[in-house]
Structure 1
Amino acid sequence: MLAPPLLFAALAALFLFGMNRSDPDQLPSAVAGNTAPPVGLAPLGDMATFDDASLRAGGVTLVNYWASWCAPCRAEHPQLEAMAAEGVTIYGINYKDRDADAQGFLAELGNPYAAIGTDSTGRTALDWGLYGVPETYVIDGTGKVTFRFAGPITVEVMNAQILPAIAAAQ
């Protein structure tokens, strides 16, 4: 007799909790708030690559997953170029792409990355909890992921979310 009202109350509480998320459009992150997962990447051509120590070198950095076959990656590229021109250190991870295609993408659009590696198998992406490309992580100077944004960085996203996250991580 008491079970139906208790079950109803529990379901109502669960629905209210789910509806009160701060940003229902943003996917949850498995790594935000934790130390950045290990980075095991192959080099892209003769470009400089990065490793775990690079993410813990003392400055705030971005890690950006991208691919040449990704149209939203092409759309966000001008914002990455603008941030790099302002001194933001951005490490790129080329995701499940052919090296020649990735190098062509950067030759055409410019290279905003301080260093870059390839994740041709997607193993590193699994460790990072990647939903898809593009996806960008803000890393503080100790290697902790302080913010994750899934999707293309527009001018609005850059100004309202990414740059404030960078400032907060310093």
Structure 2
Amino acid sequence: MKRGLLIWVPLAVFVALAALVLYGLFRPDNTVIRSALVGKPLPNFALAPIAPGKPGLAAADMKGGVRLLNVFGSWCIPCIAEAPQLMALKERGVEIDAIAIRDTGPAVQRFLNENGDPYARIGDDPRSQVQLSLGSSGVPETFVIDAQGKIALQHVGPINANDIDDILKAVEDAK
């Protein structure tokens, strides 16, 4: 009798694991990431310029008007995918600054030449120190910064065409 029950144990384990996997596949995603820094001032930073003809970036530059702060890398494939949306936001009057993560000047310049240049300033963050102080763990990430230099929104991942209206609303709400 014991042996008969032991034969069913692997099947029971398999069914339990399959049920767990199916639960994970079909439960709704929660893609909203709540940043601990939303509503708080930008951390203080000053980054040297990385691209020829572009000034560097400091937290003090982010005050006085609503702006986007885009964290990107020239080596980042999703950053290339979001470039047209950043250009569209620039065309709609949104001011955009950037932080280049672990990058080089020639690579950033090539990225801008090939994908468009929506940025007023680009700071060089060679060790990701400012990126981490912003609560950003990857690229791309975009922050809406209000006129007082506070973070109004953190958008994790590439901005796609469906995100443009939400970003514009966040910019308008931050005014």
Task: Please say whether Structure 1 and Structure 2 have the same fold, judged by a TM-score greater than 0.5.
Answer: yes
Asked if 1:93 corresponds to 2:85, the answer is no
What residue is the counterpart of 1:108 in the other structure? 114
- Return the offset for 1:38: 1.6
Partner of 1:48: 55
Gaps of 5+ in 2: 1-28
Instruction: Specify the structure having the higher radius of gyration (Cα).
Output: 2
For residue 30 of structure 1, the aligned residue among 9, 15, 36 is 36
Structure 1 residue 164: Cα displacement? 0.9
Amino acid at match of 2:35: S
User: SS of the residue aligned with 2:171?
Assistant: helix
Shift of 1:154: 0.5
Q: Tell me how large the CA RMSD over aligned residues is.
A: 1.3
1:78 to 2:109 alignment: no
Q: 1: distance between equivalents of 2:46 and 2:127? A: 11
- Counterpart secondary structure, 1:59: coil
1:166 aligns with 2:168: no
Q: Please give the secondary structure, in 1, of the residue aligned with 2:107.
A: helix
Report the 3-state secondary structure (helix = DSSP H, G, I; strand = E; otherwise coil) of the residue aligned with 1:43: coil
- Displacement of 1:60 in angstroms is 0.4
Counterpart CA distance in 1 for 2:124 and 2:60 is 17
Percent of pairs identical after alignment? 41
Alpha-carbon distance in structure 1 between the residues aligned to 2:97 and 2:70: 6
Distance in 2, matches of 1:131 and 1:30, equals 13
Aligned residues: 146
